[in-house]
Each structure stands twice: as C-alpha cells, then as structure tokens.
Amino acid sequence: MMWLILCLGANAQDGVLGSWNAINIRYELHTRLSLFGEAQLRSLRFYDHFHYYEYKGGFTYKAYPNVYTGIGIGRYDTFREGGNFVRPKNNSEIRLWPHLSLMQYIGKLKIEQRYRMEMRFTTNGYRNRFRYRAGVAYPFGNTHKGYQPYWLSVTNELFFTDREPYFERNRLAFSLTKRFSPEVSVQIGYLHQFDYRINDETGTDFLQIGIFIEMFDPKKRNSKVMEPEIKED
C-alpha cells in the first residue's frame, strides 16, 4: 500500500491529483442493524488546497440476506479554489438520503448495486439528486479469523437530477483494502470524476485513503466479517 501512495504522489504533477481522506466507524447493534458515522476531508492538490469536508451518520438495516437499506444525514461544505478553505464558500448543505443496496455473489466475487435518493438543503436552494452505483469486489489472501486480508474493488457511480442537465456526474474508482483485524481496515484507491462543475465538488482525480473501524459485541456480532466499501459520498 505504501508503494501505491508513493507512486501516485510522484505522479501528482502540477497539482492534478487531489487527496480524498475518510474515517468511517460502524457499530453493530444487532446482526441486522448497525449504526455508522463518517468524516471526510478533500483537497484539489496532493494534500494541499483543501476545499471540502463532510461529516455524516445514519443506520443500515439488513432486510434480507442480500438486501440492505437505511437512512443517512450529513453536513457538507465546499470552499472556493485557490488555497486552503478559501471563502466565501461555494456551497454549504444539509443532506438527507435513504439508500438501498443489493448484493450478489458469484463464487468469491461480490457484485453490489446501490441506489440512493438525496434531499439536499443547500445555500443555493433545495435540490434532489439520484445516484446509482455498481461495483465488484474480490477478496484474496490466506483466511485468518474468518476473513481474507485483502480486497480489490472497482466501482462506477452515476448521478442524476430532476433539473437540466439531468446527468450530473460520473465517478470511477479502483481500490485495495487491507484488513488488519476484524475491527480495523485501511483502504487506498484512485478515483476519477467527471462533472458539470456545479460548485458542490471540483477536481477530477483523487488519491483515496480510508480508515474503517468496526465496533461490536463479540457475542452478538454477525459471523461474517463485513467488507468495507469505498467511500465516495
């Protein structure tokens, strides 16, 4: 993983590669119900020109073996380009979003489809947004304590609105996850983004680094260790 960070950092010429950092905490209340909290910090250059942060929380409910649903709410702030947290802000918003995820397994290969509807209360007025993400993930490495230590993932997400232009954004992401224990994982990835520069996110290429912490009662926990997602919100 360190080799990947150094390679991407070396290629961050002229500030074209930004950073996308996340920490996610999940607490399992029951084998079907869990709470989550997450914070993100992003920059338009390689750990410089920080322009965005968010923090959010919610719950996820396992309705069926391969069907997950839930609700999240968060605060999202985007600053102007040209430095670190340059004011005035481009956008500040409160976002509420129900979501639905469908899982399917072909051997060890995990296929995920995620649907999300966002209700966005912004400084520029109220907006709706609809997101669809499809991804595949493959675990590998020697099984240890019921899990495999590595995951390779590829996801692509489409963003739509009910206003012109109806197609708003596309995100393509590649990631490698290392699970150090049932409780702690670290993920490194690369994300490419295309959008119409609508002022709630800018930048096209990012190095992603995520830390995932899972908290649970060992006597009540789900016997299957959950694999972390790439965090793109």
Residue 155, domain CATH: 2.40.160.40
Asked if the structure places residue 33 within a domain, the reply is yes
Structural domain total, the chain: 1
Given the DSSP bridges, would you call strands 184-195 and 167-179 parallel, antiparallel or unpaired?
A: antiparallel
Asked if the structure places residue 222 within a domain, the reply is no
DSSP string, 101-160: EEEEEETTEEEEEEEEEEEEEETTEEEEEEEEEEEEEEEES--BTTB-SEEEEEEEEEEE
Asked if the structure places residue 111 within a domain, the reply is yes
Give CA–CA dist 68/114, Å, rounded.
9
Asked if the structure places residue 230 within a domain, the reply is no
Asked if the structure places residue 85 within a domain, the reply is yes
Q: Which residue segment(s) compose the domain that 83 sits in?
A: 2-216
Q: Which two tokens stand for residue 201?
A: 């996110």
- One digit per residue, pLDDT tens: the chain, 233 residues? 554 555 555 554 454 899 999 999 999 998 899 999 999 999 999 999 999 999 999 999 999 999 999 999 999 999 999 999 999 999 999 999 999 999 999 999 999 999 999 999 999 899 999 999 999 999 999 988 778 999 999 999 999 999 888 999 999 999 999 999 989 999 999 999 998 766 666 778 999 999 999 998 766 555 455 555 545 56
Of 147, 136, 94, the residue nearest 118 (C-alpha): 94
Asked if the structure places residue 172 within a domain, the reply is yes
